[in-house]
Amino acid sequence: MCGGHKKGTGAVEALGRSRGGFTTKLHARCDVRGRPLAFVLTPGQAHDTQGFGPLMRMIADRIDALLADKGYDSDAVGDALTSMDVEAVIPTRRNRRNPAAHDRVKYRWRNQIERMFNRLKNWRRVATRYDKTAESYIGFISLASALLWFPFVYDA
């Protein structure tokens, strides 16, 4: 018996397989101003709804609406948001039999979320995931997100 590297740690380290190699999905919550609040990593091939539950448990404050893309359009997510009395501003996928309506005016605010991801990806290390472990990767994402908070906290 050797105590070397164990196979099968990809899911623990949020590494998924694709044709191009290893991939990771970063799920994030941000506030109205596009400031990052919480992060969850999942393997790249995992469905977006796997990151929904941990993100909603991380921050227990009251939210009025959840803006998300079509990847989060599922009955389970809709039921969870309804039970928490949160408005779901999620466009339905094209293949849904019973599409739910969403507020198009509020959905335009999702641009803030995309801007936050673009600002995070200015750091090449975040965009390409140089880190081997999920802990060090999420640590650097936390550091980068703290730097995104500086313009809001410190006003020169």
Residue 49: partners with Cβ closer than 8 Å, 6 or more residues away: 71, 72, 74, 76, 77
**pTM of structure:** 0.76
pLDDT of residue 88: 87
Q: Which residue has the higher pLDDT, 80 or 7?
A: 80
The answer to whether residue 99 scores a pLDDT higher than 60 is yes
How many C-beta atoms surround the C-beta of residue 153 within 10 A? 8
Q: What is the mean pLDDT of residues 138-149?
A: 91
Tell me how far apart the alpha carbons of residues 104 and 108 are, in angstroms, rounded to a whole number: 7
Q: Tell me the backbone φ, ψ of residue 34, rounded to 5 degrees.
A: 85, 20
The more confident residue out of 86 and 23 is 86
Tokens found for residue 125? 């290390």
The residue type found at 79 is D
Three-class SS of residue 102? Answer: coil
The residue extents of the domains of the chain are 16-148
- Helix (H/G/I), strand (E/B), else coil: 21: strand
Instruction: Using the predicted structure, report yes or no on whether residue 118 has a pLDDT greater than 90.
Output: yes
Residues in the chain: 156
Is residue 120 within 8 Å of residue 144, measured between CB atoms? yes
Q: What is the pLDDT of residue 9?
A: 60
Question: 16-148 in CATH: which number?
Answer: 3.30.420
Amino acid at 73: D
Query: Which residue shows structure tokens 């091939």?
Result: 45
Residue written as tokens 């596009």? 34
